[in-house]
C-alpha cells in the first residue's frame, strides 16, 4: 500500500525531470545562446563556400565572418540569411548574394581610413561589411523607407562609421567628394559621370553595368593619377536596376 502511494508521487516527478532535460524545439529557438550559435555556424559555412570559390583576401573573409547577415533580412527569412542567394528586402529590392558582396569587397581593395561611396544602401549589409574594414562609408539609397530602416539597423549594430542618405546615387555625393573608392550595388545602363568625377585620382570603382533584363557585367573602373579612366569587365552578374527619381 505504502509502495503504491510512493510510486504514484514518484512517476510525475520523473516525468517532470525528463521534460526539463530535453528542451522542446520551440524553446531552443527562443534560447538566445542557441540561436546565436546556430547563426554563427551558418555564417562559418557561408564563408567557407565563398573561400572555396575564389575569394582569398583574409580581411574580406574576416568581415564576412563578422557581420550578422541575419540582422539584415526580414525576420521571416532569417533561416535563409546565410544561403548563397539574394533575398527580398521590400519595395522590390534585394540584399545581394553573399558571394557577390565578398567578391565586390575584395575587388574594391580598400585600406583602413579610406572614404568609400556606396550607391544602393538597401539593407545596409554591404555597408556593414565595408565598415568592418575600418573605412568611412557614405551610402545613398533612393527609397526613403529603406534608407531610414538601414540607418536605424546600422546604429543598433554600432556601425558608427556608416552615414546613410536618402537620394539618387546618379549624382554621387558632391560635398563629400573626392572618394577613394566607389561601389554601386544596382545595375546602371551607363557609368554615371558624376561618380567617376567624384573618384579621386588613383581611385577605383566597382559597378554593374548593363540592361535590366539582359546581360550585366561587373565593371572595375580605374582612375590613374592623371585622371584617365580604364575599365575592365570582371563577371556577368544580375542586379536590380539603378532607378531614377526619389521614392
Ligand atoms: N547593397 C545592398 C543591395 C541593395 S539592392 C545591400 O547590401 O542590401 C540595390 C539598392 O539600390 C536597392 O535598395 C535600391 O532601392 C537602390 N537604388 C536603386 N537605384 C538607386 C539610385 N539611383 N540611387 C540610390 N539607390 C538606388
Which atom of ligand 1 lies nearest, measured to the CA of 125? 7
d(CA 222, CA 207) in angstroms, rounded, equals: 11
pLDDT tens digits, residue range 99-140? 999 999 999 999 999 999 999 999 999 999 999 999 999 999
Of the residues 58, 96, 123, 127, which is catalytic?
Answer: 96
Which atom of ligand 1 lies nearest, measured to the CA of 72? 8
Residue 178 has pLDDT above 90, yes or no: yes
Q: What is the pTM of this model?
A: 0.88
Which atom of ligand 1 lies nearest, measured to the CA of 150? 8
Is residue 61 within 8 A of residue 50, CB to CB? The reply is yes
Going by alpha carbons, the residue nearest to atom 17 of ligand 1 is 120
Q: How far is the CA of 21 from the centre of ligand 1 (A)?
A: 47
Going by alpha carbons, the residue nearest to atom 13 of ligand 1 is 122
Domain ranges of the chain: 29-237
pLDDT tier at 29 (50, 70, 90 boundaries)?
A: low
Tell me how far CA of residue 109 lies from CA of 57, 99, 180, 205, in angstroms.
9, 16, 10, 10
**Secondary-structure breakdown of the chain: helix, strand, coil percentages, each rounded to the nearest 5:** 45, 25, 30
Known catalytic residue at 211: no
- Extract the C-alpha cell encoding 131: 565598415
d(CA 152, CA 138) in angstroms, rounded, equals: 15
Pocket of ligand 1 (CB under 6 A): 93-96, 119-120, 122-123, 125-126, 140-143, 146, 168-170, 185-186, 240, 242-243
Q: How far is the CA of 153 from the centre of ligand 1 (A)?
A: 16
Q: How far is the CA of 31 from the centre of ligand 1 (A)?
A: 34
pLDDT tier at 16 (50, 70, 90 boundaries)?
A: very low
Going by alpha carbons, the residue nearest to atom 12 of ligand 1 is 122
Q: What is the pLDDT of residue 50?
A: 98
Going by alpha carbons, the residue nearest to atom 10 of ligand 1 is 120
Is residue 165 within 8 A of residue 141, CB to CB? The reply is yes
Q: How far is the CA of 27 from the centre of ligand 1 (A)?
A: 37
Q: How far is the CA of 97 from the centre of ligand 1 (A)?
A: 14
Tell me how far CA of residue 51 lies from CA of 10, 123, 139, 170, in angstroms.
55, 23, 27, 33
Considering the segment(s) 29-237 as one domain, its CATH architecture is 3-Layer(aba) Sandwich (3.40)
pLDDT over 90 for what percent of the chain?
Answer: 83
Average of per-residue pLDDT across 63-69: 98
Amino acid at each position: 500500500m505504502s509502495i503504491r502511494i510512493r510510486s504514484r508521487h514518484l512517476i510525475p516527478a520523473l516525468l517532470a525531470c525528463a521534460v526539463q532535460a530535453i528542451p522542446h524545439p520551440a524553446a531552443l529557438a527562443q534560447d538566445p545562446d542557441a540561436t546565436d550559435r546556430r547563426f554563427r555556424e551558418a555564417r562559418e559555412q557561408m564563408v567557407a563556400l565563398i573561400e572555396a570559390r575564389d575569394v582569398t583576401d583574409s580581411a574580406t573573409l574576416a568581415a564576412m565572418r563578422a557581420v550578422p547577415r541575419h540582422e539584415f533580412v526580414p525576420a521571416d527569412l532569417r533561416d535563409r540569411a546565410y544561403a548563397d542567394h539574394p533575398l527580398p528586402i521590400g519595395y522590390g529590392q534585394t540584399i545581394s548574394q553573399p558571394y557577390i558582396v565578398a567578391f565586390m569587397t575584395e575587388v574594391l581593395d580598400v585600406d583602413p581610413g579610406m572614404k568609400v561611396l556606396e550607391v544602393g544602401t538597401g539593407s545596409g549589409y554591404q555597408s556593414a561589411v565595408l565598415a568592418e574594414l575600418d573605412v568611412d562609408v557614405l551610402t545613398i539609397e533612393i527609397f526613403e523607407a529603406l534608407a531610414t530602416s538601414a540607418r536605424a539597423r546600422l546604429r543598433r549594430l554600432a556601425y558608427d562609421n556608416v552615414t546613410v542618405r536618402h537620394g539618387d546615387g546618379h549624382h554621387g555625393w558632391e560635398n563629400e567628394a573626392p572618394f577613394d573608392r566607389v561601389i554601386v550595388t544596382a545595375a546602371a545602363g551607363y557609368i554615371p559621370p558624376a561618380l567617376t568625377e567624384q573618384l579621386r585620382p588613383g581611385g577605383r570603382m566597382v559597378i554593374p553595368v548593363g540592361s535590366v533584363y539582359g546581360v550585366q557585367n561587373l565593371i572595375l573602373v580605374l582612375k590613374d593619377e592623371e585622371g584617365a579612366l580604364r575599365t575592365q569587365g570582371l563577371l556577368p552578374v544580375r542586379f536590380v536596376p539603378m532607378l531614377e527619381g526619389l521614392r
